[in-house]
């Protein structure tokens, strides 16, 4: 039987991480702001007009619905989520987290855009492309040696955006909010840790439900 990495030291490490996770959940549950009915108060969500020709992949209501599905520890301490017009090139960046303000900023996107150049003749595909096409049903086509992603439905774009971009920025917030409980990291290491949180949110909150629905059909 496989216990992750657990045999002696690994087992102790797994137990330690499990304890820290429970501690964060309890801390968030005690301290998170609530309304008179006891419901968790979500961070303020501000929606500004998208760039001309763009859309907000996830509008204010979609972001709200996504946050409501998450464990409280990811919401605790988050002050604001802002939907802003894209300032420049697509995906540079899709979104960002400002730790000093505890604010997530998400940028607008068109319904179709050019993907980064990869040698498709050699059968090379980025992880982003594979996820877009096979997990979120994006339409990826090649024209004159350039690949483009096209989203046929805003709901598919929203699902990809929330579980990939927003979840990644929530990972940065989680790392910042509980920074006293783990070793500090910067640069690539910090990005990897945020992505691990994004994958955790995808797996625990959404993938299990999708698989359950498919098996029920």
Identify the pLDDT of residue 3: 33
Helix residue ranges, H only, the chain = 8-31, 60-68, 72-75, 127-135, 154-160, 167-177, 187-201, 208-216
pLDDT at 14 over 50: no
Q: What is the pTM of this model?
A: 0.79
Residues recorded for the chain: 217
Q: At 146, phi and psi to the nearest 5?
A: -115, 135
Strands 146-150 and 112-114: antiparallel
Q: What residue ranges define each of the domains in the chain, with the CATH number in brackets?
A: 36-109+153-217 (1.10.10), 112-150 (no CATH)
pLDDT at 11 over 50: no
The encoded tokens of residue 140 equal: 């990826």
Question: Are 129 and 140 a contacting pair, CB within 8 Å?
Answer: yes
Strands 80-84 and 44-47: parallel
Mean pLDDT, residues 118-139? 72
Question: Are 176 and 99 a contacting pair, CB within 8 Å?
Answer: yes
**CB within 8 Å of 16: residues ≥ 6 apart:** none
Identify the pLDDT of residue 1: 33
Residue pointed to by tokens 């690994």: 10
| Mean pLDDT comparison of 36-45, 85-94, 208-217, highest-scoring range | 85-94
Using DSSP's 3-state secondary structure scheme, residue 142 falls into strand
Q: Which whole-number Å values give the CA distances from 122 to 115, 118, 130, in the listed order?
A: 16, 9, 15
140-175 pLDDT, tens digit each: 988 877 889 999 999 999 999 999 999 999 999 999
**How far is residue 75's CA from residue 177's CA, in Å, rounded to a whole number?**
10
Of 19-33, 73-87, 137-151, where does mean pLDDT reach its minimum? 19-33
168-217 pLDDT, tens digit each: 999 999 999 888 777 777 788 889 999 999 998 988 777 666 656 556 65
Higher pLDDT, 81 or 137: 81
47-79 pLDDT, tens digit each: 999 999 999 999 999 999 999 999 888 998 999
Q: Which whole-number Å values give the CA distances from 171 to 9, 67, 149, in the listed order?
A: 26, 13, 25
The encoded tokens of residue 215 equal: 């098996």
Identify the pLDDT of residue 62: 95
pLDDT at 41 over 70: yes
């Amino acid at each position: 039987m496989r216990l992750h990495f657990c045999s002696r030291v690994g087992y102790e490490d797994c137990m330690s991480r499990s304890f820290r996770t429970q501690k964060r959940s309890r801390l968030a549950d005690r301290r998170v702001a609530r309304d008179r009915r006891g419901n968790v108060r979500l961070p303020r969500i501000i929606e500004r007009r998208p760039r001309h020709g763009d859309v907000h992949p996830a509008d204010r209501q979609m972001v709200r619905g996504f946050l409501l599905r998450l464990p409280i520890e990811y919401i605790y301490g988050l002050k604001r989520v802002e939907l802003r017009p894209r300032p420049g090139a697509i995906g540079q960046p899709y979104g960002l987290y400002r730790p000093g303000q505890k604010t997530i900023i998400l940028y607008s996107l068109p319904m179709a855009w050019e993907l980064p150049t990869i040698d498709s003749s050699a059968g090379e595909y980025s992880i982003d492309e594979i996820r877009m096409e096979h997990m979120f049903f994006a339409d990826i086509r090649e024209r004159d040696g350039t690949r483009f992603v096209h989203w046929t439905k805003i709901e598919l774009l929203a699902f990809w955006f929330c579980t990939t971009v927003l979840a990644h920025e929530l990972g940065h917030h989680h790392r910042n909010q509980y920074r006293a409980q783990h070793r500090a990291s910067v640069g690539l290491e910090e990005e990897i840790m945020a992505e691990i949180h994004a994958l955790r949110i995808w797996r625990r909150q959404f993938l299990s439900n999708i698989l359950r629905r498919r098996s029920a059909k």
